[in-house]
Amino acid sequence: MWSFILLFVLSLIAYFVTDNLIPRVGKLCINAGLYGVDLCKTNKNKIPEGTGVVSGCLCLVTNFLFIPIIFGSGLMDTQQFPHNEFAELLAGLLCICCMLLLGFADDVLDLRWRYKVLLPTIATLPLLVVYYVNFNSTTFLVPIPLRHWFGVSIDIGWLYYFYMTVLAVFSSNAINILAGINGLEVGQSVVIALSIILFNVIELGSDQYKAHSFSLHIMIPYLATTLALLKHNWYPSKVFVGDTFCYYSGMTFAVVAILGHFSKTLGLFLLPQIINCVYSVPQLLHIFPCPRHRLPKYSAETDLLYASRTIITKKDMKNSTKFVLNFLTAFHLIDKIEDDECITVNNLTLINFFLIKLGPKSELKLTSTLLLFQVLCSSMAFLIRYPMASYFYDA
Ligand code: UD1
Ligand code: MG
């Protein structure tokens, strides 16, 4: 209990320090040429990019300062020191630290997509090693309706490690591609963090309480520093959070979910990111042309955002493009305009999908609508995880 009170106090201090540091670091970023222009505004002011590095560093510093508090009693008695728990925490923090570095490198160097996939894969290795040494549990409980065919549980062996790597790579990139309007990257991360914290608090009473208190130790400083960042990134943004924040956030969620053994529940909290990723696949795999920016198009006349579009020329259209186009059209998933030579479709992001279905919106309203959807998905996750769980698993 005492450790949580101290964690709250440290996190509160981290909130105020982050809040205070962001404008100062923002000025340094502009001086260093690390800035962007808000594409959904008429003014072309320089807005500092990559300020997620401030909240990320403060979150890590809070976690480092907290180490003697959690492991203090163990330090007095070296025979009883919980080496495995300590290794878990250090491996988790190492992964988060690596992603902070990768994100910052991406903001400065604009890395290619292959590195965005390769580097999180390598960064996950320490986590997998600790998982192997401490748990090495690679068994899935089979939901009750499927037990007739598969039995009570299945041991998927090394595939479980592949699954954890995919989870880490996916969540590191998922927030970064559901981005481009003020407050959305940080807003969705706050909703996911709050959902994880609520879930951990509920589960503190279970026999898995150690895993959930481990998650809380990382998530509470994360939430505090992210809220400070949101204050500056909310509409109209005074700073951009950059890929630094997106990668570090995604990896933080993956670390707590893998070591806290709730990766399936995290999957439910990440439903909007999964939908956005699946919807984006034709552009990510270049079946449809993928422009550098897919964020919505701003109209200065109406002060509203409209779905941005990409052009497919009919002349050199591949069979795969035709197939996906027909599929998306049949299910009313795209807005298509066709003439003799080309077809223009909306860029395949959840943000544009909301715009084609709900009509043009102001930036603030669009961010709020998408965050409301994130909250609805989290509520559904709790519904599946609790009232409905007894239909799928033994309560
Ligand atoms: C990802 C998306 C890209 C989207 C971009 C927006 C994919 C494959 N990539 O690219 O489509 O356009 O994020 O972040 O889906 N910006 C704003 N307003 C904001 C936030 C960002 O105008 O609220 C603009 C600014 O010009 C900023 C730039 O986006 O400088 C940052 O883009 P960056 O993070 O470098 O893009 P990617 O992550 O590569
Ligand atoms: Mg980005």
Q: What is the pLDDT of residues 247-272, one digit of tens each?
A: 999 999 999 999 999 998 999 999 99
* HSE toward the beta carbon, residue 254, CA cutoff 13 A: 33
What is the atom index within ligand 1 of the atom nearest the CA of 40?
Answer: 22
Neighbours of 12 (CB within 10 A): 13
What is the atom index within ligand 1 of the atom nearest the CA of 290?
Answer: 8
pLDDT at 310: 96
pLDDT at 190: 98
Instruction: Find the 293 Cα to ligand 2 centroid distance in Å.
Output: 10
Q: Provide the token pair at 219.
A: 């998530």
Instruction: Find the 171 Cα to ligand 2 centroid distance in Å.
Output: 13
pLDDT at 385: 86
Instruction: Find the 256 Cα to ligand 2 centroid distance in Å.
Output: 23
Closest residue to atom 1 of ligand 1, CA basis: 177
Length of the chain: 395
What is the spatial distance between Cα 245 and Cα 254, in angstroms, rounded to a whole number? 14
pLDDT at 74: 66
pLDDT at 395: 58
> Low-confidence residues of the chain, pLDDT below 50?
none
Q: Where are the alpha helices (DSSP H) in 204-336?
A: 209-233, 242-259, 263-269, 271-284, 319-330
Q: Is residue 155 helix, strand or coil?
A: strand
Q: What is the CA radius of gyration of the chain?
A: 22
Q: Provide the token pair at 73.
A: 């009693």
Q: Which residues contact 90 (CB under 8 A, 6 or more apart)?
A: none
pLDDT tens digit sequence for 180-214:
999 999 999 999 999 999 999 999 988 888 899 99
Neighbour-count burial for 121-148, b at 16+ CB within 10 Å, e otherwise: eebbbbbbebbeeeeeebeeebeeeeee
Closest residue to atom 27 of ligand 1, CA basis: 36
Q: Which residues contact 323 (CB under 8 A, 6 or more apart)?
A: none
Instruction: Find the 376 Cα to ligand 1 centroid distance in Å.
Output: 25
pLDDT at 328: 97
pTM for this prediction:
0.95
* HSE toward the beta carbon, residue 210, CA cutoff 13 A: 8
Q: Which residues contact 331 (CB under 8 A, 6 or more apart)?
A: none
The one-letter amino acid at 198 = L
Q: What share of the chain is helix, strand, coil (3-state, %, to 5)?
A: 65, 10, 25
Residue 37, ligand 1, Cβ within 6 A: yes
Q: Where are the beta strands (DSSP E) in 26-176?
A: 35-36, 47-48, 139-141, 153-155
Ligand 2 (single-atom ion) residues, CB below 5 Å: 176, 243
User: Distance of CA 72 to CAs 57, 86, 127, Å?
Assistant: 23, 11, 23
What is the atom index within ligand 1 of the atom nearest the CA of 36?
Answer: 30
User: Distance of CA 377 to CAs 32, 267, 271, 311, 371, Å?
Assistant: 39, 11, 6, 32, 10
Largest CA distance in the chain: 79
